[in-house]
Amino acid sequence: RTVSLIPCPMTFGQPFTGTDMGPELLMQKGLPSMLSNLGWRVDRVPEVLGKSPTSPTSTPASSFNAKNSSLVGTGAKELAKICYSKSEEGRFPLTLGGDHSISLGSLAGVLRSRPNTGVIWVDAHADLNTPWISESGNMHGMPVGLLMEGMVPEGKSVGEIEGLNWLSEDWKGEDGWPAYTNGEKPPTLQPSSIVYVGLRDVDKEEREAIKSLNIKYYSMYDIDRLGIGTVMEKSVEHLLKDDPDRPLHLSYDIDAVDPGQAPATGTTVRGGLTYREAHFVAERIANSGNLASADLVELNPTLSDETGAEETVDLGLQILTSMMGKSII
Ligand code: DIR
Ligand code: MN
Ligand code: MN
Ligand code: MN
């Protein structure tokens, strides 16, 4: 088995610099050798679109309620190409963020190759916004919403947003991301194909969409009520009940974890996953045997003191090795 390690130091989906430091720190601390020790062949992919040339706040807003959408969209397209081709080669695309807007790219790429992919979204937030409902305009709050069937208002389309024309039905095609022909549609996600774990800060419009589309979620309330063990059994069973061989994609936002354990991230919300719960989520998904692609996002070492930054990056590494098969015994 081969894992493709894809550094994607995107910052433009949210307002802080420093979110671009995650991939380099994870690499420096030895992620590639940790993965080879777990039995993976490691295919190191060059950084996607490099570091941000300017601070995320100094770039012009787009005409849509989607800040920096051409930069976010172009970055996501480049990542989509890589995740698409690596998926086609049967590899495990593992994307290191960067802010969570990159998952628009990783998921689109994976879904184009493996349309029956089921998604586990581990996050304090639902990231189910679109420019038509977002309160902040920050695109790290939109990767699920932009791909989800039923989230785009009647008469609108994601492909009309600046930078996202590669998701439009009449996309002309370019190297690595061909036109949609022979009845192929741009990649989308069915509401029944995702499970949220760890939610505790959800916007009003997102909440209404979760209810009306009947999206499966386990919030922190549910984790307290059922325990993380039951929550993960139910999550896996929800995604695999109709197709036990279905590929799974795990999108892990480090802000799902309690700020006591993971302070170095942009939008901390108290009352999150404990240290062990954070591991268990990854361990249980690894144990399903279906995990085929993943992201780890929103590490920002500049947003806490040195100890906090180090602890957050170390936790990130442990979550990554857990999802890639490391077990306690
Ligand atoms: C909020 C926060 N729902 C937004 N989202 C965050 O801006 O759309 N996602 N922080 O990670
Ligand atoms: Mn997120
Ligand atoms: Mn989040
Ligand atoms: Mn928030």
Residue 87 near residue 113 (C-beta atoms within 8 A): yes
Q: What is the mean pLDDT of residues 96-119?
A: 98
Percentage of the chain beyond pLDDT 90 is 95
Pairing of strands 92-97, 118-122: unpaired
Ligand 1 atom, smallest distance to 266 CA = 10
Q: How confident is the model at residue 275 (pLDDT cuts 50, 70, 90)?
A: very high
Q: What's the complex ipTM?
A: 0.93
The tens digit of pLDDT for each residue in 310-325 reads 999 999 999 999 999 9
Residue 122 near residue 198 (C-beta atoms within 8 A): yes
CA pseudo-torsion sign 252, 256, 262, 267: positive
Residue 148 near residue 188 (C-beta atoms within 8 A): yes
Look at residue 111 and tell me whether its pLDDT is greater than 70. Answer: yes
Cα Dmax for the chain:
54
The tens digit of pLDDT for each residue in 142-161 reads 999 999 999 999 999 999 99
In the beta sheet, which residues pair with residue 251?
Answer: 121, 295
Where is 41: in which H helix or E strand?
A: strand 41-44
Pocket of ligand 1, beta carbon within 6 A: 100, 125, 127, 129, 134, 136, 138, 140-141, 203, 253, 267
Residue type, 82: I
What's the whole-number average pLDDT of the chain? 96
Euclidean distance between CA atoms 272 and 87, whole angstroms: 32
Look at residue 262 and tell me whether its pLDDT is greater than 60. Answer: yes
Q: Which two tokens stand for residue 199?
A: 């939610």
pLDDT the model gives residue 62: 74
Look at residue 60 and tell me whether its pLDDT is greater than 80. Answer: no
C-alpha count within 13 angstroms, C-beta hemisphere, residue 139: 35
Ligand 1 atom, smallest distance to 141 CA = 8
pTM above 0.90, yes or no: yes
The 3-class secondary structure across 79-110, one letter per residue, is: HHHHHHHHHHCCCEEEEEECCHHHHHHHHHHH
Nearest CA residue ID for atom 8, ligand 1: 141
Euclidean distance between CA atoms 140 and 129, whole angstroms: 9
Look at residue 56 and tell me whether its pLDDT is greater than 90. Answer: no
The residues annotated with a catalytic role in the active site are: 100, 123, 125, 127, 140, 253, 255, 298
Q: What is the mean pLDDT of residues 248-255?
A: 99
Where is 234: in which H helix or E strand?
A: helix 228-240
Distance 100 CA to ligand 1 centre (A): 9
Q: Which ligand is nearest the CA of 255, by number?
A: 3
Look at residue 53 and tell me whether its pLDDT is greater than 60. Answer: no
Ligand 1 test: best mutation among 125, 130, 132, most atoms within 8 Å of CB?
A: 125
Nearest CA residue ID for atom 5, ligand 1: 141
